[in-house]
Amino acid sequence: MDKIFELIEAETKRQHEQVQLIPSENFISEEVKMALASDLSNKYAEGYPGKRYYQGNKIIDEIENLAIDRGKKLFGVPHLNVQPYSGSPANSAIQMALLNPGDKICGMKLSAGGHLTHGHPKITFSGKFFNSVQYDVDAEGKINYEELAEFVKNEKPKLIYAGTTAYPWIFKWDEFRKIADSVGAWLVADISHIAGLIVGGVHPDPAPFVDVFMSTTHKTLRGPRGAIIGVTERGIERDEKLATKIDNAVFPGMQGGPHMNTIAAMAVAFEEDGKAEFKIYAEQIVKNAKVLAETLKNQKIKVFGTENHLMVVAVGEGRGKEMAEKLEENGIIVNANTIPHDTAGPLKPSGIRIGSPAMTTRGWKEKEFTKVGIRIAACCQGR
Ligand SMILES: *Cc1c(COP(=O)(O)O)cnc(C)c1O
């Protein structure tokens, strides 16, 4: 056997033998996997359905239209682009559509749980080509909406991001809307982490409040690696050309040919996400995360969260990486993460981030999450 397939087999085994608690990861279904591995990977289809630059795309058009229709229904929006290669290029496309170089962009600080693509200074596309201003969270890791309102009134950004990678609390979309309206800013929700919770009905839906939303499709949505950009009714009311601007920014602005195997796999995942079983799955994700957080708190461990699928756990100043490695030795996979107002700095984070989506897919319930919580606590306390 080719070495690479031996390695793939070894990785599959690792994924199933260890406890996977990284909140951005999940396990896709066999059907999603089949679409990903299909001959659609062979086809070039630059453009959009009905407007392709290559011949031979009649079936491809049907596939992309099906993915779009299922996604629009799932998220209740009038326009959806399913071509972004992943979350980061989707955010770049949104910025290309709505901003000019040098315009002011506002996102949450990386150290507070924001994403690199939301204007992290200097080393990222969004931080280099735009004038970036960033907001923090309070000592409990929560957004202080009054302070954010003041910050935004002073800074007057043209675009505001609401969305993070390590925020264990519910987003108040209506507060974000009021704040964006106070300066006429575009409001973009990045729901990469929580999209599955939103369609599963266990987190409030941003669609009535934001102009644009984006999401990766491989986290709680449990689809292929990829991303979508949705334009809401509100966004189209504000600018009737908004959907066209977004589409043009994705192609030809940022990307070339769409990955049609990924888009077909999204269509499969969206169908799964709309089922009654998925609602039960989303509810169980939150129940499991709550039980895990309570278990750790009962062992006198400082936990930030949780109202969703993840929590940030303080493990001692600068000891996040060391603890993540120790847990790995015990077969438990998490990642080191800064805690709110981390005193050790971003290179030596003082926490770990833990999430329930992947193991919930594998059938874990409260009992298993309590057990793993006791083991994590024992590791953290050197027992
Ligand atoms: C994961 C994530 C992204 C980026 O997605 P990639 O597919 O890794 O590029 C963007 N924003 C948020 C909030 C994320 O959690």
Query: What pLDDT, on the 0 to 100 scale, is given for residue 4?
Result: 98
Question: Residue 303 to residues 109, 151, 213, 295: CA-CA distances in angstroms?
Answer: 20, 28, 29, 10
Same domain, 222 and 300: no
Same domain, 308 and 243: no
44 an active-site residue?
yes
Residues within a 6 A CB radius of ligand 1: 24, 86-88, 115, 117, 163-165, 190, 192-193, 216
Query: What pLDDT, on the 0 to 100 scale, is given for residue 1?
Result: 85
- Overall number of domains in the chain: 2
Low-confidence ranges of the chain (pLDDT < 50): none
Distance of CA 212 to the CA centre of its chain: 15
46 an active-site residue?
yes
Output the domain CATH number for residue 80: 3.40.640.10
Query: What pLDDT, on the 0 to 100 scale, is given for residue 328?
Result: 98
Query: What pLDDT, on the 0 to 100 scale, is given for residue 87?
Result: 98
**Which residue of the set 219, 222, 245, 290 is catalytic?**
219
What pLDDT digit, counting tens, does each position of 154-197 carry? Answer: 999 999 999 999 999 999 999 999 999 999 999 999 999 999 99
Same domain, 248 and 176: yes
Which domain range does residue 289 map to?
8-28+283-380
Residue 158: partners with Cβ closer than 8 Å, 6 or more residues away: 98, 99, 103, 104, 105, 185, 186
Same domain, 181 and 86: yes
Same domain, 311 and 334: yes
324 Cα to the center of ligand 1, angstroms: 21
Same domain, 223 and 368: no
Distance of CA 53 to the CA centre of its chain: 31
Same domain, 197 and 336: no
What pLDDT digit, counting tens, does each position of 74-93 carry? Answer: 999 999 999 999 999 999 99
Query: What pLDDT, on the 0 to 100 scale, is given for residue 137?
Result: 97
What is the chain's mean pLDDT, rounded? 97
Output the domain CATH number for residue 291: 3.90.1150.10
Same domain, 215 and 100: yes
Is the peptide bond prior to 306 cis by the omega test (within 30 degrees of 0)? yes
Query: What pLDDT, on the 0 to 100 scale, is given for residue 76?
Result: 97
115 Cα to the center of ligand 1, angstroms: 7
The 3-state DSSP class for residue 157 equals coil
